[in-house]
């Protein structure tokens, strides 16, 4: 009688550390393949010509207002004269009921919660579409993907009607209406609107990243008795951190620079920085030097966010670009 000995599969299921190591290797390989001298030279030339108007705007923000009305910004090289008065006036003035400094705080109160809400909801939906089997999953995912082509402007009037009147089905209130003049609900409408508009793209991007996580890791966790909640918080979130950080940067910048949604859904007491910037130039644009100063004040926070999360942003863009 012969006894057949079954040898164990070498290596077994990959651990989270091995997956992270393979991800970093793929990132370096993708970065090497996507870089070339010609592309670098073209990027430098484009960046140079793109930077000239921005540099001129920066110089204008430091020039006295009277000089900007009579001479161009390039005369600063022959007759340099700078002042910080433009920045002081930009912070303390505004064409609306709010100053630029007050609108700056409103922008933070709008953008930070929206980025958190969008990531929280989208990551859970992406995990469900990637690793949970339920009836109609693929049809729903196609529907979410198709929502990306829906123009944002088409949803503004129905959403505004929903916020003001509420939603009632068969006599049951599903969504209570907001009093649009109520200050307590001033940010809630913006949070909900921005989160809704961000979900289609967020779910699509995060699903592509989460679905590439090796199934062996998920199956090993389930064998050890982990439920969907433990798998999501202990495995998916740490491994998907680069993708989450990448979309957080994109969502933060998009909401921070938004003017249309805030103008429609926000009352006058909660207008963001973009609304105040639009009115800083004066009635006939005779104070555009104040607008230039306010513009550079408005880009400080996005720059800080981008450089703080740059490492995760690049990893999130390159991860999964190639497979070993």
Q: Which residue has the higher pLDDT, 7 or 239?
A: 239
Q: Is the pLDDT of residue 18 over 60?
A: yes
Q: So what's the pLDDT on residue 319? A: 53
Closest C-alpha to 205, from 235, 238, 249: 249
Q: So what's the pLDDT on residue 250? A: 87
Q: So what's the pLDDT on residue 123? A: 92
Calpha distance 230→238 (Å, rounded)? 12
Angstrom distances, CA of residue 301 to CA of 33, 121, 230, 308 = 33, 24, 34, 10
Q: Stretch 203-227: mean pLDDT, rounded?
A: 85
The confidence band for 119, taking pLDDT boundaries of 50, 70 and 90, is very high
Q: So what's the pLDDT on residue 114? A: 93
Q: Which residue has the higher pLDDT, 293 or 7?
A: 293
Q: So what's the pLDDT on residue 73? A: 82
Q: So what's the pLDDT on residue 314? A: 62
260 CB neighbour count, 10 Å cutoff: 11
The confidence band for 209, taking pLDDT boundaries of 50, 70 and 90, is confident
| Domain boundaries defined on the chain | 37-83, 97-318
pTM for the predicted model, two decimal places: 0.75
Calpha distance 94→257 (Å, rounded)? 17
Q: Is the pLDDT of residue 2 over 50?
A: no
Decide: 238 and 16 in contact? Cβ < 8 Å.
Answer: yes
CB half-sphere exposure, 296, CA atoms < 13 A: 18
Give the model confidence (pLDDT) of 154-182 as tens digits: 888 888 887 777 666 666 666 676 665 55
Q: What is the dihedral of CA 99, 113, 126, 151, to 10 degrees?
A: -30
Task: Name which of 101-115, 196-210, 281-295 the model is least confident about.
Answer: 281-295
Topology given in CATH for the domain delimited by 97-318:
MetI-like fold (1.10.3720)
Q: Is the pLDDT of residue 96 over 60?
A: no
Q: Which residue has the higher pLDDT, 182 or 89?
A: 89
Backbone angles phi, psi at 167, to 5 degrees: -130, 120
* Average pLDDT of the chain to the nearest whole number: 79
Q: Stretch 273-299: mean pLDDT, rounded?
A: 78
Q: Stretch 208-215: mean pLDDT, rounded?
A: 85
Q: Which residue has the higher pLDDT, 67 or 55?
A: 55
Q: Report the percentage of the chain scoring pLDDT > 70.
A: 79
Q: Is the pLDDT of residue 9 over 50?
A: no
The confidence band for 94, taking pLDDT boundaries of 50, 70 and 90, is low
For residue 204, count CB atoms less than 10 angstroms from its CB and return exposed for 0-12, middle for 13-18, buried for 19 or more. middle
């Amino acid at each position: 009688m012969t006894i057949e000995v079954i040898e164990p599969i070498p290596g077994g299921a990959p651990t989270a550390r091995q997956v992270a190591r393979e991800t970093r290797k793929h990132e370096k390989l993708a970065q090497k393949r996507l870089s070339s001298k010609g592309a670098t030279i073209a990027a430098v030339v484009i960046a140079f010509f793109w930077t000239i108007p921005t540099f001129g705007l920066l110089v204008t923000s430091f020039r006295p207002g009277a000089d900007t009305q009579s001479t161009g910004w390039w005369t600063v090289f022959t007759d340099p004269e700078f002042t910080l008065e433009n920045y002081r006036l930009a912070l303390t003035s505004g064409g609306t009921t709010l100053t630029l400094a007050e609108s700056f705080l409103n922008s933070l109160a709008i953008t930070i919660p929206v980025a958190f809400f969008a990531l929280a909801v989208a990551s859970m939906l992406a995990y469900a579409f990637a690793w949970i089997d339920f009836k109609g999953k693929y049809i729903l995912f196609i529907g979410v993907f198709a929502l990306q082509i829906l123009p944002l402007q088409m949803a503004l009037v129905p959403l505004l009607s929903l916020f003001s009147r509420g939603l009632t089905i068969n006599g049951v209130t599903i969504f209570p209406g907001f009093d649009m003049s109520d200050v307590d609900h001033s940010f809630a409408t913006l949070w909900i609107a921005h989160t809704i508009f961000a979900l289609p793209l967020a779910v699509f991007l995060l699903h592509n990243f989460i679905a590439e996580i090796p199934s062996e890791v998920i199956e090993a966790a389930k064998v050890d008795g982990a439920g969907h909640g433990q798998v999501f918080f202990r495995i998916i979130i740490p491994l998907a951190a680069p993708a989450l950080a990448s979309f957080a940067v994109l969502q933060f910048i998009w909401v921070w620079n938004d003017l249309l949604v805030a103008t429609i859904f926000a009352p006058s007491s909660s207008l963001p920085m973009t609304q105040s910037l639009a009115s800083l130039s004066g009635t006939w644009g005779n104070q555009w030097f104040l607008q230039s100063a306010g513009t550079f004040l408005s880009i400080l926070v996005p720059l800080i966010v981008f450089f703080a999360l740059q490492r995760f942003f690049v990893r999130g863009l390159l991860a999964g670009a190639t497979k070993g």
